[in-house]
Amino acid sequence: MATRSDQRTPAGASTAQPARQSITPELRDWIAEQASAGCSPAALRQSLRAAGWDDDVAAQALADALQAPTSNSPEAHHRAPPLAVPAPLLADSPPFLDAGDRQVGVLLTLAQPRLVVFANLLAPEECDALIAAAAPRMARSLTVATQTGGDEINDDRTSDGMFFQRGESPLIQRIEERIARLLNWPIENGEGLQVLHYGPGAEYKPHYDYFDPAEPGTPTIVRRGGQRVGTLVMYLNTPEKGGGTIFPDVQVEVAPQRGNAVFFSYERPDPSTRTLHGGAPVIAGDKWIATKWLREREFI
C-alpha cells in the first residue's frame, strides 16, 4: 500500500506544458492509493502541483479518481456520511421562487454538483447599499487556516473583504431572511455575510468551501456550527470583463451580473461533490460580491 511518503512522486508526473498533460490510469491509481493511506485531497493536490501538474489538470484528476468509488473501495469506507443541505424548492421546475419579500428568478440548475443560478436576488439599491456599508471596513481577505483553526493570508486569494455580523442592520437582516426562505435553511445556521472586492487582476484560485476532516484545525473550526454545507455568492456589480465564478470539475462559468447569485451545496466534505470552484481573474473594471456560507447547525 502506498504511504504518505510517496506523495512527492505521483505516477506519471511531468513538467510538460498543461496542454500536453493527460490523466492516465496510473495517475488515478496513485491518487486512490494515497487517499486510502489517509492523504487529504488538499495534500494530494499540492503534491501534484509540486510535481509539475497544471492546477486544473490536478483538480480534474482528483475528481476523476475520488468522485465515484465503489462500495468496496477504501475511499468509500473513509467517506463521511451525507449531511442535510439547504435546498431551494425546484421539484416543479419553477421559473421563479418566493423569497418572502421578493420573487427570485431561476436561470440554471445542475444536479451534480447541486448548483442553481438565481436572477434578481438583490435589488440594485441593495447592491449599492451593501457596497457603501462595506467599503470603509475592507481589509486584505483571509482564508481559514485548516492547520490551526484560525485565519491566514493566502496567495491564492487576492481580494479585500469584510464580514457583517448576522442581523447587524435592517438591510442585512432583510437579506438574510430572504436567503433563509429561498434556500429553506434556518437563518441562525448562516455565517455572517461577507463582502469581497476584486480589483483588476485579482482572483481566488479553485478551492473547496467545506473544511477538510483530515486537517488538524478542522475540529476547532466546526465547533461553531458544524460543517459548511452550502454557499451563496451574490454579485453586487457587473465587471467590465472577467471575474466569473468557475467550476472546473464540470466546466461551468457563471457570469457575474449585478443582483444575480449562484448557489451550490455539498452534502459531505469530499471532492465527490464536484464543488471545486474559484473566482476567475478580473480583466477590466472591478468586482464586488457578497458571500453567505451555510453551516449544518447554528453558527455561534
Per-residue pLDDT of 10-38, as tens digits, reads: 655 444 433 457 778 778 778 877 876 76
Tell whether 60 and 165 lie within a shared domain. no
Question: Is 89 part of a structural domain of the chain?
Answer: no
Tell whether 169 and 108 lie within a shared domain. yes
Where among 78, 110, 127 does a domain terminate?
Answer: 78
Judging by DSSP bridges, how do beta strands 150-152 and 143-145 pair with one another?
antiparallel
Tell whether 122 and 230 lie within a shared domain. yes
Question: Is 72 part of a structural domain of the chain?
Answer: yes
Tell whether 107 and 145 lie within a shared domain. yes
Task: Report the CATH number at residue 253.
Answer: 2.60.120.620
Where among 33, 51, 78 does a domain terminate?
Answer: 78
Rounded CA separation 282/280 (Å): 6
Q: Quick one: pLDDT at residue 152?
A: 53
Mean pLDDT on 4-8: 41
Question: Is 90 part of a structural domain of the chain?
Answer: no
Question: Is 91 part of a structural domain of the chain?
Answer: no
Q: Quick one: pLDDT at residue 75?
A: 47
To the nearest whole percent, how much of the chain has pLDDT over 90? Answer: 64
Tell whether 56 and 115 lie within a shared domain. no
Question: Is 88 part of a structural domain of the chain?
Answer: no
Tell whether 32 and 109 lie within a shared domain. no
Tell whether 146 and 44 lie within a shared domain. no
Tell whether 103 and 225 lie within a shared domain. yes
Cell output for 297: 447547525
Question: Is 104 part of a structural domain of the chain?
Answer: yes
Cell output for 271: 471532492
User: Is this structure's pTM higher than 0.75?
Assistant: no
Q: Quick one: pLDDT at residue 31?
A: 85
3-state helix vs strand vs coil in the chain, percent to 5 = 30, 25, 45
Print the domain residue range for 186: 96-295
Q: Can you count the helices (H) and strands (E) in the chain?
A: 7, 17
**35-56 pLDDT per residue, tens:** 767 677 777 887 888 888 887 7
List, in sequence order, every residue forming a beta bridge with 287; answer none if it has no partner.
Answer: 198
Q: Quick one: pLDDT at residue 195?
A: 97
> Among the listed ranges 102-116, 145-159, 200-214, which one has the minimum average pLDDT value?
145-159
Question: Is 157 part of a structural domain of the chain?
Answer: yes
Cell output for 266: 455539498
Q: Quick one: pLDDT at residue 263?
A: 98
DSSP string, 194-233: EEEEE-TT--EEEE-SSPPTTSTTHHHHHTTTS-EEEEEE
Task: Indicate the number of domains in the chain.
Answer: 2
Question: Is 83 part of a structural domain of the chain?
Answer: no
pLDDT of 232 higher than 50: yes
Tell whether 106 and 48 lie within a shared domain. no
Tell whether 209 and 60 lie within a shared domain. no
Tell whether 120 and 226 lie within a shared domain. yes
Where among 21, 46, 78 does a domain terminate?
Answer: 78
pLDDT of 117 higher than 70: yes
Tell whether 234 and 144 lie within a shared domain. yes
